[in-house]
Amino acid sequence: MLEQVKDWDDDFYERWKPIAMGFVNEAERCLQCGKCTGQCPAAAVTPGYNPRKLIRDLVDGNIKRILSSVELWQCFFCSGCYSTCPMDINFPFFIFMLRLGAMNEGYGWEDVKQLEAYAEKDYLKDGITVSIRERNPFVVDTVGDIGKIREAAGLPTKRVVSKRGVAEINMISDLSGMTSFMKKIGGVDLLDCNTCDDAQARRCKTKPLPSKVGKITTKTRFYNYGEPSGGKTNAKT
Amino acid sequence: MADNYLEAYGKETSQDAGERTLKYFEDLFSMEMPLSRMMKMMPGMVKFMMSSKDTREDLFKFMPQMTPMIKQAVTGK
Amino acid sequence: MPRLDKVAQIPKPDKIFVFKSCVASNKYPGIEACSSDSLRILGIEPVDSDEQTCCGGFVTFANVAAPTASMPAVARNLSLAEEKGLDTCVVCNGCWTFLNEFGHFMNHNAEVKASVNMMLNMMGKEYKGTGSVYHIAEMYYRLKEELAENVKRPLKGIKVATHYGCHYLGGGKYTAIDDAQMPSYLEEIIEILGGEVVPYTANRECCGTGFTQVINGKDLSLEHTKTKLDSVKEADPDILVVQCPYCHSQLDRIQQQFNYRDEGDFQTPILHIAQLVGMGLGLDVAKLGFAAHVSGRARLENVLDRIGR
């Protein structure tokens, strides 16, 4: 793999820093001490995930490996790495920004697709991200109607954000491009091998993940940090 | 299907991917307000204006501030 | 040991803007009711606003919204408190870091602040960056003398364990009132309320929600929550206190899922610090909202029987 070294984008990180408005900085100070990985909850449950390696690859400019990896999407966003880092590298922000970059390359849309409803159906519609509807039937059995509990606690039956408030966040979303971003995510087809029909299967033979998001073709991610060989197995999800 | 990420990217180098990513972030965080971007904002503002009476009043109060910005965007100065 | 100089900087205002959290309002209403009422007993009048929306942290870090969208949303929510000339008090670690971090970012980046303000001006608002954001647990710690005076229902003989959650101590490494690795202020509050603190091994572990992992990578999330719950079960506290509604929801609901799948028998009631303080200050049992809790309901009733209803 040595010849691939030439392939790295050496100054990517240096050029990215000023563009990213201070969200990503100080990675060049990384000591490679591995404290972040030592206390990482995601690293504790997945052998492949390793914040130290991700930082190293970013600073060295091994962009393809980072952006196409499954590991990028395994972060718990707990900020534990930041709290323990001797050089104050705020790693969760790197993950956040790199995920945006990976989506631009076509990776990770299937994950984001599952979360889009929170923004579209709850955050922008009611102003509250987590709705009062309970999806888990066992919880409904135990708890019953949350509205009644709210009344008993002396609160209004339903927390309502005023119409004005909802109109304002909708305008913010329209003006800052969040709405069009969400429309892109809404365009992703999620296909599952267990449930897909014949027509979908036919499309599936020609394209790995049969969907296009605007100009972006969605792709499957790889376990780039799981195996030393560079991830032969495709990610299933 | 590609076996690993190097195959998936084919002949594209990290430079190409990096270039594309940098371009994406440049667009995302751009502070400039060209005409195309301002036109994209219009539907949202109209929707906000139509939602109630007080939102319309607030938006009209903002008009004096907006006119020079539109002028600048149209003339490109 | 909390950083006392930092604690001393927290004001004791007459009024404070109470920022409502999504999970606290819609899943565990007891937290919302207790936070307002306990602050009132401690001498701070809570003020809220219907216009306040969610902090937007979830949709941002779920990568559904770009940071360009969440910056004005944060500024808008903070400007609601600034209009009234008040500081903001939040009940959720997520809201705390998100409002703090993005507010801090805008305060130190004039260009971004100007462009955000342009958008806010359209709706007749302005973000100045004058107000601060405090977590309710910080406020309780600041008001610990008042808290000690007002205890009506001492938690005598109740074994309480703590879970701080990640985003307060980890994300706010320099703004939080305590050390990220060895925090102790919740323990102090519990002792003031008359409870008995129980240590357990996995105290500083994450609850396992992992932000979006509970939806996207359920296996990872559950594995982590199991480690946490196993350790809690070993110490066998009567109550596990959290200070984040999202941790609350994860630890509470996943216990039932494990029990259902025969992966252990977990019956530990989870309480938010606002509910624990509310319980100590003698709030009406209906106000505590225990009916919304999923796991350890029998044990919670038993606790109430022991300390008096």
pLDDT in tens, A22-44: 788 888 899 999 999 998 988 88
Domain that holds residue B11: 1-30
What is the pLDDT at residue A196?
Answer: 61
Whether residues B55 and B70 share a domain: the answer is: yes
Convert the pLDDT of each residue in C239-282 to its tens digit: 999 999 999 999 999 999 999 988 889 999 999 999 999 999 99
Task: Classify strands C133-135 and C88-90 as parallel, antiparallel or unpaired.
Answer: parallel
Question: Cβ of C123 and B28 within 8 Å?
Answer: no
Q: What is the pLDDT of residue A47?
A: 78
pLDDT at A207: 45
Chain A contacts of B13, Cβ < 8 Å? Answer: 7, 9
Of A23, A111, A178, the CB nearest to C69: A178
What would the mean pLDDT of A150-171 be, rounded to a whole number? Answer: 91
CA atoms within 13 A on the CB side of C230: 9
Nearest residue to C215 via CA among A141, A110, A126: A110
pLDDT band at B1 (very low <50, low <70, confident <90, very high): low
CATH class for the region spanning C152-307: alpha beta
Q: How far apart are CA C78 and CA C88, in angstroms?
A: 8
Say whether both B53 and B63 belong to one domain.
yes
**Cβ-Cβ contacts under 8 Å, B28 against chain C:** 66, 68
> Is residue B53 domain-shared with residue B71, that is, in the same domain?
yes
Q: If you count residue pairs, one on A and one on C, with CB atoms under 8 Å apart, how many are there?
A: 228
User: Residue C3 has what pLDDT?
Assistant: 83
- Closest-approach residue (CA) in chain A for C225: A41
pTM for this model (two decimals): 0.90
Co-location of B62 and B41 in the same domain:
yes
Region(s) of chain A under CATH 1.10.1060.10 = 2-105
Residues of A in contact with B2 (CB under 8 A): 208, 234
Instruction: Say if residue B20 is in the same domain as residue B50.
Output: no
**Chain A residues touching B55 at Cβ < 8 A:** 164, 167-168
Q: What is the pLDDT of residue C79?
A: 94
In chain B, the number of structural domains is 2
The radius of gyration of chain B from alpha carbons, rounded to an integer in Å, stands at 21
| Residues B23, B36 within the same domain | no
Task: Give yes or no for C217 touching A (CB within 8 A).
Answer: yes
- Tell which residue, C95, A189, A231, has the closest CA to residue B7: A231
Domain residue ranges in chain C? 4-136, 152-307
For A145, which residue in chain C has the nearest alpha carbon? C292
Structure confidence by residue, pLDDT tens digits, B18-50: 999 999 999 888 877 777 777 878 888 888 888
pLDDT tens-digit readout, A106-115: 888 888 888 8
Higher-scoring residue by pLDDT: B62, C25:
C25
Q: How many CB atoms lie within 10 A of CB A120?
A: 18
What pLDDT, on a 0 to 100 scale, did the predictor assign at position C28?
A: 93
B26 and B41 housed in the same domain: no
- Cβ under 8 Å to A: C residues 256-295: 256-257, 260, 286-289, 291-294
Residues B69, B45 share a domain = yes
Within 256-275 of C, beta carbons closer than 8 Å to B belong to none
What would the mean pLDDT of B50-76 be, rounded to a whole number?
A: 81
Mutation target for A interface from B11, B12, B21: give the one with most A CBs within 10 A. B21
- What pLDDT digit, counting tens, does each position of C217-232 carry? 888 889 889 999 999 9
Pairing between β-strand A212-213 and β-strand A216-217 as defined by DSSP bridges: antiparallel
Q: How confident is the model at residue A224 (pLDDT cuts 50, 70, 90)?
A: confident
**Is the pLDDT at A210 greater than 50, yes or no?**
no
Instruction: Give the pLDDT of residue A180.
Output: 83
Task: State chain C's mean pLDDT as an integer.
Answer: 91
**How high is the mean pLDDT of chain A?**
81
Quote the pLDDT of residue A21: 77
Of residues C197, C240, C247, the one with CA closest to residue C225: C247
Per-residue pLDDT at B44: 83
Instruction: Categorize the per-residue pLDDT at A200 as very low, low, confident or very high, splitting at 50, 70 and 90.
Output: low
* Per-residue H/E/C for chain A: CHHHHHHCCCCHHHHHHHHCCCCCCCHHHCCCCCHHHHCCHHHHHCCCCCHHHHHHHHHHCCHHHHHCECHHHCCCCCCHHHHHCCCCCCHHHHHHHHHHHHHHHCECHHHHHHHHHHHHHHHHHHCCCCCCCCCCHHHHHHHCCHHHHHHHCCCCCCCCCCHHHHHHHHHHHHHCCHHHHHHHHHCCCCCCCCCCCHHHHHHHHHCCCCCEECCEECECCECCCCCCCCCCCECCC
The answer to whether the Cβ–Cβ distance between A9 and B44 falls below 8 Å is no
Q: For residue B29, what is the nearest residue in chain C, using CA coordinates?
A: C68
Domain A2-105 fold is Fumarate Reductase Iron-sulfur Protein; Chain B, domain 2 (1.10.1060)
User: Is the pLDDT assigned to residue A216 strictly greater than 80?
Assistant: no
Reply yes or no on whether the pLDDT at B3 is more than 90. Answer: no
Same domain? For B38 and B72 the reply is: yes
In this prediction, the residues of chain C whose per-residue pLDDT falls under 70 are: none
Q: Is the pLDDT of residue A206 over 50?
A: no
Q: Are residues B26 and B38 in the same domain?
A: no
Mark yes or no for CB contact B25/A173 under 8 Å: no
Verify that B25 and B61 share a domain, yes or no: no
Q: Residue B42 corresponds to which tokens in the numbers above?
A: 């219009």
Please indicate, yes or no, whether residues B1 and B12 belong to a single structural domain of this protein: yes
**What band does A230 get if pLDDT is binned at 50, 70 and 90?**
very low
**What's the CA gap between A92 and A75, in Å, rounded?**
8
Architecture field, domain C4-136? Up-down Bundle (1.20)
